[in-house]
Structure 1
């Protein structure tokens, strides 16, 4: 248990230092964390242990040199040496400590898994609380980004709307110009038609007056004798035509 706690604390310190270094380097470059070159640290899990407190790495260290039994031989030999040379004196406190060690071992076997599970849950809850703030911040920032994108889209829509309004105004100006040009055309055509009708009317009046004058003068120039001769000639011509029929 103690080794597990020690490994966890060391892993946490290492993760914190790595996070600070990575965050500083990423901030110096562009202000945004480089997730590829500097990934976020993950909480490390303690390694395997043997005999309840000896790390597996110690056995692996001996395994490459002495084989499987090397660590156990080293431990037994060292204990035997300390006891034989009375470096470690077995007085009455030794047996008290041995009994306490057996009690601690039994307690660890009986209570250890439950306590370890409870501690793991506590660590996970603390880690979740820490990550919750980061996740909530990321979520709020993502919402802000989406809102900013929507605002930019709205601004682009306003630009399109203004452009459409300008085009509409130009179309209205073009329509007004063409309407006024048509009005001018109609006015000029009406005046030209008036002048043409006036000239035609004057010409007809002149022709009628000329015809009436000629008819009056011709009628005045015809004498009664000429009129009688002309009437007799017409009757003779009609009689000749009737005889041929």
Structure 2
């Protein structure tokens, strides 16, 4: 169990470097990681162990050829060979090593799980701190993108405002143009009315002078005898009209 805890503690450092290198190598030109072809590495968990420190893979390696008892037979035979050929010489420190090994195995069985749980908790907290940093950076970038989109939307609003101002300027120009047209129409009409009134006054004055001139000349051409004769004739006509009625 101690070997498993130590292996877990050691292996937490390797995936971080792999993640950093993989992100730099696998990131495309657009800056977005291809999660399908280049998935993010996952922290490996140590495998199962036997006798407290021997990996289980060392035992399962023999199962296809020798069966379940093969690894133990191989281990016993190897130890027997090393001792019989005096490749490994048993001296007075051998018993100390055996005692220490038994103590280590006992400690691994007795305290391995609590220590492993504590170390796993620390490793998870350490990993979560890195992941949280990455998540915070990602959220900050997403927030920046959101703010950038908001600014772009505001910029589009400024374009609409500029178009509205242009329309207002064009309407003001149109209103000023129409006002000037109205002023020009009024001034031209006033001058034309003046000319018409002037011509009417000239005509009336000319007619008055012409009538007065004709009347005066007619009166001047009538003599007193013609006037008396005309007056008598008018009286006679009136008498005849009265006699008929």
Partners of 2:4 and 2:114 in 1: CA distance: 17
Aligned CA-pair RMSD: 3.1
- 2:31 aligns with 32
Unaligned ranges ≥5, structure 1: none
User: Alpha carbons of 1:204 and 1:116: their partners in 2 closer, same or farther (altered >3 Å)?
Assistant: same
Partners of 2:236 and 2:65 in 1: CA distance: 170
User: Alpha carbons of 1:236 and 1:26: their partners in 2 closer, same or farther (altered >3 Å)?
Assistant: farther
Alignment TM-score, normalising by the size of structure 2:
0.78
CA apart distance, 1:115: 0.4
- Please say if residues 48 and 55 of structure 2, whose CA atoms lie closer than 8 Å, have aligned partners that are also in contact: yes
Partners of 1:216 and 1:234 in 2: CA distance: 27
- Please say if residues 59 and 71 of structure 2, whose CA atoms lie closer than 8 Å, have aligned partners that are also in contact: yes
User: 1:194-233, aligned counterparts within 5 Å?
Assistant: 194-218=194-218, 221=222, 223-233=227-237
Unaligned ranges ≥5, structure 2: none
CA apart distance, 1:183: 0.5
- 1:106 aligns with 106
Alignment TM-score, normalising by the size of structure 1:
0.78
By relative contact order (CA 8 Å, sep 6+), the higher-ranking structure is 2
User: 1:1-245, aligned counterparts within 5 Å?
Assistant: 1-6=2-7, 9-10=10-11, 12-13=13-14, 15-26=15-26, 30=29, 32=31, 34-36=33-35, 37-82=37-82, 87-88=87-88, 93-218=93-218, 221=222, 223-237=227-241, 239-240=243-244, 242=245
CA apart distance, 1:106: 2.5
Aligned residues: 239
